[in-house]
Amino acid sequence: MAAAGYSAVVDRLMAALGRLPGIGARSSERLAHHLLKCPPEEAIELAEAIRSARDRIRHCQVCFHLTEADEPLCSICRDPRRDQSTVCVVEQSRDLIAMEKAATFQGVYHVLLGRLAPLSGIGPDQLTIDALANRVQSGTIRELIMATNPNLEGDGTALLVAKRLGGSEVKITRLARGLATGSTLEFANRDMLADAFSGRHPL
Ligand SMILES: [Zn+2]
């Protein structure tokens, strides 16, 4: 999508920006102009922030939330006040952050790193279901709360996990539909999430 009249360097910048979610051709052109016009240190700070995050951030070895490279476990898994027997299963770290902001959940999490989306080629193997099965097998977990999003793919993912772990002792529940069908957890407010937790039902 090389725009006429730009040098190869500017084209490269616009192409990189254009690959970001929600950024179309016009936005990438506008952002590129901004980055070329703003104080150099501002643009370099952005580049450095991206580099440092990519270099330093890893997935937690237990729950797959984000953690820093020198901490194999995330701050939630390390927190002795959290109830290790109740695990809330979410699609992505952003959902976990939404739950933490609502501050209604005292257990720990498991981040699937996506959701089942056969049409986009995302199957069970791309998710962290094996790791979750291993956690369940270790025996400390009593309940898994499926908190995948209340839409077709989120429901499918919850059912898949329930089917996979159904033979085990663990109780599997699904967040109540205090959340409107088709909505996403990321944008749920505190009361909605509290209702969804307290009204959870067996899956
Ligand atoms: Zn963790």
Q: How far is CA 162 from the centre of its chain?
A: 19
Percentage of the chain surpassing pLDDT 70? 95
- Spell out a b/e string for 87-119, using b for 16 or more CB atoms within 10 Å of the CB, else e: bbbbbbbebbebbeebeebebbbbbbbbbbeee
Ligand 1 mean position, distance from CA 113 (Å): 13
CA dihedral 77, 79, 82, 83 (to 10 degrees): 60
What residues pair up with 89 in beta bridges, in sequence order? Answer: 110, 146
Ligand 1 mean position, distance from CA 20 (Å): 27
Ligand 1 mean position, distance from CA 111 (Å): 9
The predicted structure's pLDDT at residue 3: 53
State pLDDT tens for residues 40-91: 999 999 999 999 999 999 999 999 999 999 999 999 999 999 999 999 999 9
Q: Is the pLDDT of residue 112 over 90?
A: yes
* pLDDT grade for 39, boundaries at 50, 70 and 90: very high
Ligand 1 mean position, distance from CA 79 (Å): 9
Ligand 1 mean position, distance from CA 192 (Å): 24
Mean pLDDT score of the chain: 90
Question: What domains does the chain contain, in order, with CATH numbers?
Answer: 79-202 (3.40.1360.10)
